[in-house]
Structure 1
C-alpha cells in the first residue's frame, strides 16, 4: 500500500464555530493519538484527505510543522446529508508495528448452476497486519458453490504477514437456495388452455 503525503497544520482553537469555519475553508479538523503521546489537534486539506480515504486503511504520512508522522484513519465522521468529511481520528503508527484493522471481503467466481443466492454475512474481517503492509481487501472464491455451502473466516486466505482476529468459525459467505416462484395467473391459464 502506497503512503499518501499530506501537510497538516496544528490546531489551537476549538469549538463548533471554529470547526465550522475550518470546514468552510475546505479543511477538516482531526486528532492524532497513540503510543502514549499527547493527543495532537490538526487541520487537514479536505480534498487531499478525501482522496486518501478512498483507499481503505490508507497509510498517511503527515507533515506536521516539519515533523513526519505516520498515521492510519481510525474513525471518520461524515455529514449525514451531504456526505463530506467532518472530522477524522488518526492513529499514529510506526514502521514494523502491528495494527488491528478491518478489511473488506470481495468475492470472485460464479456459483453452481441454478438459481442460488449469495449472502455476504460478513462484509469485513478484522485482521492484524504490519502498519505499512495493510491489505486493502481479501478475496474469496465462490466458484462452483451450491446451495447450503458456506465459507468460514478460517477458510479465507490472508496475505503473508496478516493474521485473523475475527472468530475463525464466523460465517463469512453462505449460499442459499432461491425460492421457486409461483407461475403468474396468465401463464397458468395459457397452460390449461393448451391442454384442452
Structure 2
C-alpha cells in the first residue's frame, strides 16, 4: 500500500467568492468527509498538491493529510479541474476508517509474455488497465499483478480467471475481458503471376 503526506489547513469561508480568493493565493479549496464526521472545508498548497498528484496512482494511494497538526488517512474521491487550463479547482478527500472497506480502482501490472505471443507470433491486446476492487483501507495494494504467461493464441483472460490476494473483492463484471492474444496480422500479398499495371502516357515529341 502506497502512503504519502500532504499538509492542509482548515478554513471557515465557503462559497464561490471564497474559493476564488483561495485560488488566487496559490491554494486549492477542498473538503474532507467520511463516516462519523461532518464535512470539513480545507485548503492545500496548489504547487505541492499538483506535484503530489502527478507522482501517485490517485485512485488507490492513501494520503495522510496533516490538518493543523492532526493527521487523517484519506483517499482522493474527486478532482475538479478547469476545463481549459486544467488547473485543479477543488478536491474531495474521503477519510478512511479501519475495519470499513472502501472501493478503489487499482492499476493492473501484466506479468510475463503470453504463450501465444512467444510461440505463435500473436499480439497481446490489454483491454483493462485497472480493476475496481473493494478492500480494507489497510490492505489497499499498489497494483494488481496479472500473470499472462499461459494465455494461448486466440484465447483471453477474464476477471473471473484472476487470482487475487485474500480480502480483495472485485467489483467489475466477472465476465469482462482483461486481455486477449490476437492472431498475427498477415499482410496481403499480390497473387502469383499477376501482371504489373501498364503505365500509359502520351509520347513526347522528342521520344525516339
Q: What TM-score results when the alignment is normalised by the length of structure 2? A: 0.76
Q: Which runs of 5+ in 1 are unaligned?
A: 191-196
Change in CA separation of 1:184 and 1:52 when aligned onto 2, cut-off 3 Å: farther
Aligned residue number for residue 44 of structure 1: 44
SS of aligned partner of 2:164: coil
Superposition RMSD in Å: 2.6
Q: Which residue of 1 aligns with 2:154?
A: 148
Contact 2:120 2:153 in 1 (8 A): no
Equivalent position of 1:77 in the other structure: 80
Partner of 1:124: 130
Q: Which residue of 2 aligns with 1:172?
A: 178
Report the CA distance between 1:32 and its aligned residue: 1.0
Task: Note if contact 1:77-1:86 (Cα within 8 Å) is conserved in structure 2.
Answer: yes
Displaced runs of 4+ in structure 1, greater than 4 A?
Answer: none
Higher strand share: 1
Deviation at 1:90, TM superposition (A): 0.8
Partner residue in 2 for 1:59: 62
Whether the aligned pair in 2 keeps the contact of 1:52 and 1:58 (CA below 8 Å) is: no
2: distance between equivalents of 1:110 and 1:189?
43
Partner residue of 1:133? 139
CA contact (8 A) 1:55 1:136 kept: no
How far apart, in 2, do the equivalents of 1:138 and 1:180 lie?
Answer: 34
Work out whether 1:26 is the aligned partner of 2:32: no
Change (3 A) 1:59 1:184: farther
Task: Decide whether the 8 Å contact of 2:3 with 2:62 is kept in 1.
Answer: yes
Aligned-residue offset at 1:71: 1.0
Structure having the higher Rg: 2
- Whole-Å Cα distance in 2 between the matches of residues 133 and 38 of structure 1? 25
Deviation at 1:145, TM superposition (A): 2.6
Change beyond 3 A, Cα 1:182–1:38: same
Judging changes above 3 Å, is the alpha-carbon distance between structure 1 residues 82 and 120 closer, same or farther for their aligned structure 2 residues?
A: farther
Residue correspondences, number: 188
Query: 1:164-188, CA deviations, whole angstroms, 9 ceiling, x for partnerless residues?
Result: 2222222111122233122489xx8
Correspondent of 1:93 among 89, 93, 96: 96
